[in-house]
Amino acid sequence: MGNAREAEGARRRVIVAITGASGVVYGARLLEILRELDTVESHLILSRAGRLTVQQESRITAAQLSKLADFVHQPTNLGAPVSSGSFKTYAMLIVPCSIKTASNIAAGNTGELISRAADVMLKERRPLAIAIRETPLHRGHLETLAKLAGLGAIIFPPVPGFYHRPRSIGDIVDQTCMRLLDQIGIAVETAPRWGEDDGVRAIGGVGALGK
């Protein structure tokens, strides 16, 4: 897949981690979007549970998913480049993020690569966005998320928007991915934006979701 050194300074390195939570479609779509950006070098970490979720929820295989990334790191490889702060990464997105992974990061349990890479992002003051996928949330979950927010993480539940009148699951996923990338300073236009030119304007009436 090439040499990461060759891209140093030329492209922003973005880590996409996919855990075993439901919603692997978000991670897969992010990789597709990032692949189209010449300014980004993507690094994928797919957890063991995430691999199982791919089999259950996705029409593509884990191998096909891996081909969407520039670099792939095994979740048990604590010697991977992304495990070190000296490896200049730009941002990390955990999409979807399980409660287990969120808890490991909050507690500083860095025994596997996803939590270790996330810990690096926090200690180096680099953007870390966590797309937590769990509902309902009990107090322990909320305390974990509050702790992560206090450590500097961006807590981004993939809550769908409907003001752009999505007509498919893909429309919903694209809008969520666009908003998620906004959080780390990468602008893409995969969905209409509220109030902007060629975007969504205010509409009234209780039938707004109708035909």
Total structural domains in the chain?
A: 1
CA distance 129 to 93: 5
Rounded mean pLDDT, 25-48: 97
92 located within any domain: yes
101 located within any domain: yes
End-to-end CA distance of the chain: give it in Å, rounded: 46
Rounded mean pLDDT, 150-160: 97
Domain that holds residue 100: 12-182
Name the burial class of residue 60, with classes exposed (0-12), middle (13-18) and buried (19+) by CB atoms within 10 angstroms of its CB. middle
CA distance 92 to 85: 13
Name the burial class of residue 150, with classes exposed (0-12), middle (13-18) and buried (19+) by CB atoms within 10 angstroms of its CB. exposed
194 located within any domain: no
Give the model's pLDDT for residue 1. 42
96 located within any domain: yes
Work out the pLDDT band at 199, boundaries 50, 70, 90: confident
- How many whole angstroms from its chain centre is CA 136? 21
Query: Which CATH number fits the domain that encloses residue 107?
Result: 3.40.50.1950
Rounded mean pLDDT, 112-136: 98
* Residue keyed to tokens 């602008």: 187
